[in-house]
Amino acid sequence: MGTPDDDDDESKKGHRELLTPEPKQLGKHIQPYACATILFLAFILMVLFGLHDLASGWHNHVDHSDSTYTSAGRPKNVIFMVSDGFGEAGLTLARTYKNTVLAPQPVAASKQPAEHVPLYLDTFNVGSAHTYSADSLLTDSAAGATAWACGLKANNGQIAVTPLERPCATLMEAAKAKGMRTGLVVTSSLTDATPAAFSSHVRHRGLEHSIALQHATDRTADVLLGGGRR
């Protein structure tokens, strides 16, 4: 039978044993947390490497199942859009109308006109070009479209011909020669100067009968959709 002091020592010893588990028990408590930590770190590394591969693939890999691109990563289809007669003056007018009529901007305390909010179309504007035809400082639709279609200057009124009235190869003819499907979709008539310059060759834009005949016989364009009803 022990003394009271011995009983106190035994109770303290038992208390310490409860607070300080044995090494084997300690390992049992730590092991699940260690495994969870390792799995979590592995998951983080997988995510980081996965994002890196995804970012690299976004720039370097082309999805060959996407018909928009070729196996070389180049665009498969090209849509050439022309806003005929629309220039910087029209863009300025549209911007002014939007900021003063459609969505007026508040006037600053200085009474100075508020800065105009840009149009969505402004995000597409990456530059401008100084244009002139082969025989004039002012370019008409025929010479302008010929410059786009053939990559050379022509006299005003000429459709896909040189100033010496020799036919020049057009972008649409080059696409057709490569086996691509081609088409013209316009709100004007199909014999108008702008669409005509991509698929026909005449010495003057007024020869619309000849332009129409070339549309029908040369078949440079597989699809023809136009307006022009009078």
Q: What is the pLDDT of residues 63-117, one digit of tens each?
A: 545 566 666 677 788 889 888 878 888 888 988 888 888 887 776 665 666 677 8
Last residue of a domain, one of 128, 162, 194: 128
The answer to whether 141 is a known catalytic residue is yes
Residues 199 and 170 sit within 8 Å (Cβ to Cβ): yes
Tokens matching residue 147 = 């410059």
Range of the domain at 96: 86-128
Catalytic residue among 141, 188, 199, 210: 141
Last residue of a domain, one of 78, 105, 128: 128
Mean pLDDT of the chain: 77
> Residue 66: inside a domain, yes or no?
no
Going from the C-alpha of 104 to that of each of 91, 93, 96, 100, 122, the distances in angstroms are 17, 14, 10, 4, 18
Structurally, the chain folds into a number of domains equal to 2
Judge if 198 and 120 occupy the same domain. Answer: no
pTM of the model: 0.62
Tokens matching residue 220 = 């440079």
